[in-house]
Structure 1
């Protein structure tokens, strides 16, 4: 069996972000030179991540050549990152990756000064988990990973690997996540998407 592009960055994977488990309430994003910004639903006649009309500027996340993308403006809470389409020759993730972010801010948040969002003057504690499913050797398992965080920098890191199964071919993927707290909001500061090409029946 030969593996091609093992752990290589994957271009043109498409993702959408949601605020509900059924993936019906999309967190709309617009493209910017630095990545993707969350669109305020209030401007579209909705409330939080529900209701209103889809903004014209809303787009899917598409991984560039280096496999990395950035999302700015996420608040605390739980999000579902769902792969909408995988590039040719790859299988998309079977289930969304569930990200839960729990920051603890200082009680005196009214004294916030621009630039202090990632310091202990505002962010005192940062906790996060990622729930994901692994497929290997014909079986699926689920587990939660507690993310390594740094409240002084407002950052957290996670690497998720989905192994390639020998009974039912499925794409393995490695996901690296860095989040940075910015005042009351959070930024997902980089998704490094890497893939292992699927096994095929003829052994190529």
Structure 2
């Protein structure tokens, strides 16, 4: 029978990209980790990972298994928190998923307010590099709430928190100003070479949406 520990091993190996780094993070020996992974694969009837010279790669079976493994671990953590809450050993925990850009700028002031108003409720922050990873995590039930750009066709509840302001930095001989306020119509920058965020970055999606809205 598949155990939660085996699922944790699988997720950690995938996230770290290495059996060696996963063993260090999990505080187990690499042979013990490899043994549990082989037992998991034997029980499922096929390989979950390809062992490459410098990394590991999910097989088709592994890609199908991974979101369910993450969801099972998240459910187990919520069950642990619910039990501790019922026993009075903790006042609760809120799991918040976000992208790195939000955790650096938008989130810290909100966390300070949360801590002031709800000192008995801990916050567990889960950060992702890109918006698509954030969407997959929420689909798999890995967190209670997410803070980031709205995914296309998202079926769940959404609450708008506000508007984030962006500025475009231009060279001294850049586009001419539209008016005395110094504002520039984004449409005039359509043919310029942009230094942009990496593809998939949550802020990149917001900027692209703003440019599209500007025409």
TM-score (norm 1): 0.25
Higher helix share: 2
Larger radius of gyration: 2
Q: Which has the higher contact order (CA 8 A, sep 6+)?
A: 1
TM-score (norm 2): 0.24
